[in-house]
Amino acid sequence: MHEIAASLHPATATPARPRITIKIAQTLDGRIATRTGQSQWITCEPARALAHELRATHDAVLVGIGTVLYDNPRLTVRLVDGPDPLRVVADTRLRIPLDCFLLTETPEHTIVVAVEAAADPERVAAVQATGARVIFGLAGPDGLDLVELLGQLSALGIRSLMVEGGSGITTSLMKAGLVDRLVVCIAPKVLGAGLDAVGDLGILDLGKALTFRETTIRQLGPDILFDGIVDRPTLGDAAAG
């Protein structure tokens, strides 16, 4: 079992932030869900097994509260052999349902990050009573201050972080230059209208598009897997300014 402490990596220095992998499951036209929020299941069984393999190789998995409210994920490793990661929920106002899987199944593996001024104290106590941990971050322009949040996770000994959505947190991390690796499973489906995998990054010049220095593309059943290392230094650069 994981311990929520720096003893996860006692012999290493604390970096500015964990190494971040974003994993996206999307349609050919870049949708991660229908207009009503339905997203299970866009990709095939081999692609879902890959997601579990990725979880097993990361210290923690991060999702936004929207993903919890829409999908009620477990974020465990079930389709392959491997350890379960810690589960981290970015939840500014502490809206996480007390009966969701993250708080009813091994809640001691769950960290909920809220803004103290926005979280009702009774709600904080109720979440803590499940066995989960609540920590407080700073407010940013679009929710939590991501650099500060990642610094807190690093201080807890989390060196590698997998992000499984949704679009809001994915977009914020990309916009802030806080992504090291992008893994995209593309299903041969077209939805038309739906939820975008990535929102507006404010890029008006193609020369400033996110690019990759290493890429792998392969087939997973009917799906296509893209796995790329972002073309930029990996740790600490965004936090350093």
CATH label of the domain that carries residue 86: 3.40.430.10
Two structure tokens written together for 84: 């379960």
239 domain residue, yes or no = no
What percentage of residues in the chain have a pLDDT greater than 90? 51
241 domain residue, yes or no = no
CA distance 212 to 92: 32
35 domain residue, yes or no = yes
105 domain residue, yes or no = yes
pTM of the model: 0.84
Predicted confidence (pLDDT) at residue 37 exceeds the cutoff of 80: no
Please spell the DSSP secondary structure of 150-172, one letter per residue.
HHHHHHTT--EEEE---HHHHHH
- Which domain range does residue 87 map to? 6-230
Backbone angles phi, psi at 45, to 5 degrees: -60, -45
CA distance 179 to 20: 5
Q: Quick: pLDDT tens for 45-89.
A: 888 888 899 999 999 999 999 889 888 999 999 878 889 999 999
pLDDT band per the 50, 70, 90 thresholds, residue 236 = very low
Between the CA atoms of 201, 150, 142 and 170, what dihedral angle is there, to the nearest 10 degrees? 40
Q: Where are the alpha helices (DSSP H) in 57-145?
A: 65-71, 101-104, 121-129
1 domain residue, yes or no = no
What is the per-residue pLDDT for 39? 67
235 domain residue, yes or no = no
Q: Quick: pLDDT tens for 177-204.
A: 899 999 999 999 888 888 888 888 888 8
Between the CA atoms of 210, 17, 158 and 19, what dihedral angle is there, to the nearest 10 degrees? 30
238 domain residue, yes or no = no
